[in-house]
Chain A
Amino acid sequence: MRRAALVTIFVAGITLGPGVRPSNVAAQSAAVPLALDGEASARPWHRYHEWPQRDSAKFNTLAMLASPPAPTQPRKVAGSVAGNSALGAKLAADRSRGGSCLACHVMGPAGDADLPGNLGPDLSQIGNAGLGDETLFNFVYDARVYNADTLMPPWGTHGIFDDQEIGHLVAFLKTLKAPAPFKSDLDDPAKRPPPVENRDNLDSMLNPAMWAVDDKAPALWTEAGPKGAACASCHRDPARAFKTWAAGMPRWEPRLEKVMGIEEFVTRHARATTGHAWPIESAENGALAVYLRFLANGSTIAVDQESAPAKAAYARGEALAHRKVGQLNFACLDCHDAGRGAGKWIRGQWLAQLRGALDHYPTWRTSLQATWDVRKRFQWCQVAVWADELPPDAKEYGDLELYVTAQSNGLKLNVPGIRH
């Protein structure tokens, strides 16, 4: 029954002819045909095979609370902690254990002072601070007992280091008594220059993500689907029709009762109209997601955050951005809030703030030779903090995308970008 109704609306849309303006169509969301049944991405969701596979089921995700509670009292340590400082130095630089201490701390000579990060304080002279073994032990085991707002992963509570290993780390910390011997300014996170990206991102010789705009999306646009129609059957002049549309996405979709991004829109709209199966993270979906935003390049990003459902979604997205997730226990805003991690370094990786984070997405990733859309970027952030990611069309990602994109309201779309 519903399908028949959708087809009727679809036909009515055609009769309106080329004068239909996309912004009006978007505003009348109930009139846009969408297949409301089923999912917009693969189920069950399986992590991309080239990504690290871990069991993070015991820790928070954006959809579920599971992490063990924070302790309320420091653990008692009688006398001094037994530990071997040489083993501690090795553990501090071990990148297989949550990125190593050096990911966030300058630690004197540890790791040859090679590209340490500065999300946490410089510990190069922590051995002079007069902290007792119990204090040092608890800072590593679970620093939340001293500072509820700490960014430090609870290495002990979350089972990444055991008591003996933390003992070695404490022994090593006590040996740190002199400033780090940086070999160059690049090694010093306080002097390391932030990355600059100033290539012409719309030159397809420089940016392979532009190939979606040059060939792939235009070819898909005219390709008839199983229902006989193509995108071009209704949208004959996409450059005019979608001149601003993408700048208002994502938005609340009452029929789905979730925030819908462009990728999910492409999936559900195609399913309802042309019959194409273009799920999120398929090559076709990716090409159209780039193209539809490209057409709106130069438009001012203006995500709705005023209507009642959008306001509620924004609030949920903001709460999710504050939620600690994963075994490493990071929230989005720990790293990307201008007042916290943004502008600092995790090893050699510079942390961007939320404003401007999505104005160029989907973006070409030079380090991966791949185009990533917003949702894949969200998924990777979670895998990087050792949390289970959600399927790309998860409603939580919708709320988060609305919140994060709204931070860029007033900036201009510039898609596809180029980033490391």
Chain B
Amino acid sequence: MAEKPRIKVPKEAKKGEVVEIKTLLAHPMESGLRKDDAGALVPRKIINRFTCEFNGALAFACELEPAIAANPYFQFTVRLEESGTFRFTWIDDDGTAIMADETITVA
């Protein structure tokens, strides 16, 4: 069961302001290098890509690797010129895309 992502985006910003965004997704980030009790490798299952789009345009993206710890946390900044909607997407190794939206008013 995927948990709801945790996202912190300010409700409002001034035109041209640089706003800080924080996201955190609960995910085990199974590296694929661990062994289970029977000695068999536990299959890799990580979030391998994270993106943040604003009004459809890519604002931030990154690839994740197996060494990244559980519950990946991102903190980044975006300069905003207009009101709109952030779309956050986490891509899991199993192909699932976890998505969440947040709106912000820019005055």
Contact = CB atoms under 8 A, between A and B. Distances in A.
Instruction: State which size class the interface on A falls in.
Output: under 10
A248 interface: no
B68 interface: no
B4 A205 contact: no
B37 A205 contact: no
B73 interface: yes
Contacts of B3: 211, 215
Interface of B is mostly: loop
B26 A211 contact: yes
A205 B6 CA distance: 7
B24 interface: yes
Contacts of B44: none
B24 A205 contact: yes
Contacts of A208: 26, 71
Interface string B1-44: 00110101000000000000010101000000000010000000
Contacts of A215: 3-4
Nearest to A215: B4
A205 B8 contact: yes
B70 A369 contact: yes
A49 B26 CA distance: 23
A369 B26 CA distance: 11
Contacts of A204: 6, 24
B42 to A, nearest CB: 12
A204 B23 CA distance: 11
Contacts of B4: 215
B73 A205 contact: yes
Contacts of B69: 369
Interface in A23-70: 49
A214 B24 CA distance: 14
A49 B37 contact: yes
Contacts of B6: 204-205, 211, 214
A301 B42 CA distance: 44
A205 B73 CA distance: 8
Contacts of B8: 205
Given A205-B22, A205-B24, A215-B4, A369 B71 contact: yes
Nearest to A50: B37
A211 B24 CA distance: 11
A418 B24 CA distance: 17
Interface in B45-85: 69-71, 73
Contacts of A211: 3, 6, 26
A215 B1 CA distance: 14
Contacts of A205: 6, 8, 22, 24, 73
Interface string A96-125: 000000000000000000000000000000
A220 to B, nearest CB: 14
Interface in A209-234: 211, 214-215
B25 to A, nearest CB: 11
A49 to B, nearest CB: 6
A155 to B, nearest CB: 30
B46 to A, nearest CB: 14
Contacts of B26: 208, 211
A369 B69 CA distance: 10
Contacts of B73: 205
A214 B70 CA distance: 19
Contacts of B71: 208, 369
A369 B28 CA distance: 9
Given A208-B26, A211-B3, A211-B26, 5 more contacts: A204-B6, A205-B6, A205-B24, A215-B3, A369-B70
19 contacts: A49-B37, A204-B6, A204-B24, A205-B6, A205-B8, A205-B22, A205-B24, A205-B73, A208-B26, A208-B71, A211-B3, A211-B6, A211-B26, A214-B6, A215-B3, A215-B4, A369-B69, A369-B70, A369-B71
User: What 4 A-B pairs are tightest by C-beta distance, nearest first?
Assistant: A369-B70, A205-B24, A205-B22, A208-B71
